[in-house]
Chain A
C-alpha cells in the first residue's frame, strides 16, 4: 500500500469566503512536500482538510488509495497526524506528559497497558527528552521542548503521513534548527510522508523534496525543490523568493 496523498478539487467555503478553491495536489509516498504562501492563502485550511478537522464543501482527499470521508475510520485517523504551530496551545495544560503521550497509544492499541510506560520513555528518547518529563505538566517546559512533546504525541500512533503546520515559526532560531533536525531524522527513520507548511524559505529549502505555492486559496505552482529555488515558474513564486530578507552588507 503506497502512502501517497492525493487532494482532488478541494473547495472550502467559510461563510462566503472561499478559503480553498479547486485545490489539486499530490504528495508521493515517503517524500516531503513544502507548502508555502502568504498568510491567509489557505495553507492551514488545506492542512486541516487533510487532517480531517475541516470538511471540504467539494472534492476528495485520498490517502493510500482510500477516500477519506467525513467520518474516518480509526485506522485512517491513526495514519494521519499533525503537529501544530503554537507549542503553547497544542498540549492540554491539565495533562501530564505521560497522559499526553499515552492517550493515543491506548486509544489505538499501539502497545498493551503493561508496556505503556516503556513506550512513553522510548518516545521521549526519540525527541531527546529525559524520562523525568513524564510526570511534569506542559507549563514546566520551554517552547522548543513542548514542540518536541507534540511531535512525540504525533508519532506515538505510528502515522504514515505527518502534517507539520509551521512547526518552527513560534520558536527561537536556535531552537528551530533542532526541531527541524528532529523532524528530518524522524521522517527518515519512520519512513514518513510529510506535508510541511512554512512561510520560511530557508526551512522549506532544508526539509522538502517538492514545493507547492499557494495564493488566495489556489495552488499556483508545484515544482521539485531545486527547480523552485533556481527557476520558479510562477511570477508570484519569484516574488516570494525575492521577499526573503537578507542580511545587509555594509561597505566599510
Chain B
C-alpha cells in the first residue's frame, strides 16, 4: 500500500503530464474524464496531478520532520532509562513541561514566530516530537538495564557508550520503529490539518489539507474535490499503521 503511494509520489512528474499548479480556467470543476482522471478543481488544475504531487509534499515533510525527533527521542530516552537519577529527572521534567502545551497551540505560536509553512512544522516537531519516543525508549531502557546481559557487559568492562549502542539500542529500536509508524500517522494528520487551517503548506504548493479546504466550497456539487484527498490521508494512515502492526508482530515472534 505504502509502496504504491511512495512510487506515485516519487515518480509524479513521470506519471502525470500536467503541472500541479498549472491553471486552465477554460476547464474548471470538470468531473472524471479520460484527460483528467479525477477531474479538475476550481482553477482548472488536474486533481490527480495535485493529489500525487501533494503526496510528495506531505510524505516528504512527514519523513523529514520525524528524523530529528526520532533520533533525539531515542538518545534522550536511552540516557534517561539507562542512567536514571538526575538525567531521568531532567528528561521527565522536559517531557512533562512540553506535553502540557497542546501540539496545535505550539504550531500556531511557532507559525507566528517563523512564518507559516514547512519550517513551522519542522521546528514544532523538533521541539515536541521526540517526547513520545523518549518515553517509550526510557521505559524500555530502564527495564533492560536491570537485565543480566547488561550486567555481564559491565563485568566484561565494556564502556557505557558501547553498552548503550550495541546492547540497549538494538533492543529498543524495534519498539521505537513501531511507535514511529503510529506517530507518522499523527504527524500526517497534523500536516493536513494545518494545511486545512491555512497555517501549514502555503498554496499553490499542493497539499492534501489545502485541497480539502479548497474543495469544501463545492462539497455539495463536486464532492470528490475534498473527498479524494481525504481518502488519500486515510489510505496513508492505514498503510503506516499496518506496517507498524506487521513489524510489531514480526519482532514479537522473534
Contact = CB atoms under 8 A, between A and B. Distances in A.
Contacts of B158: 103, 107
Nearest to A150: B152
A103 B156 CA distance: 9
B22 interface: no
B178 to A, nearest CB: 15
Chain B interface size range = 10 to 19
Interface in B165-183: 166-167, 170-171
16 contacts: A51-B155, A53-B151, A77-B156, A77-B157, A80-B155, A84-B148, A84-B151, A92-B149, A92-B153, A92-B170, A95-B167, A95-B170, A104-B156, A107-B156, A107-B158, A139-B254
Contact of A89 (B147, B162, B166, B171): B147
Looking at A78, A92, A157, the one whose CB has the most chain B CB atoms below 10 A away is A92
Interface in A27-71: 48, 51-53
A120 to B, nearest CB: 15
Contacts of B154: 52-53
Contacts of A85: 148
Say what secondary structure dominates the interface of chain B.
helix
A85 B162 CA distance: 24
Given A92-B171, A94-B171, A139-B254, A84 B152 contact: yes
A188 B200 CA distance: 72
B110 to A, nearest CB: 38
B155 A90 contact: no
Contacts of A77: 155-157
Nearest to B158: A107
Nearest to B169: A94
A93 interface: yes
B170 to A, nearest CB: 4
B82 to A, nearest CB: 14
Contacts of A93: 171
Nearest to B147: A89
A231 interface: no
A81 interface: yes
A74 interface: yes
A128 interface: no
Given A103-B158, A139-B254, 10 more contacts: A53-B151, A53-B154, A89-B148, A90-B149, A92-B170, A94-B170, A103-B156, A107-B157, A150-B152, A153-B156
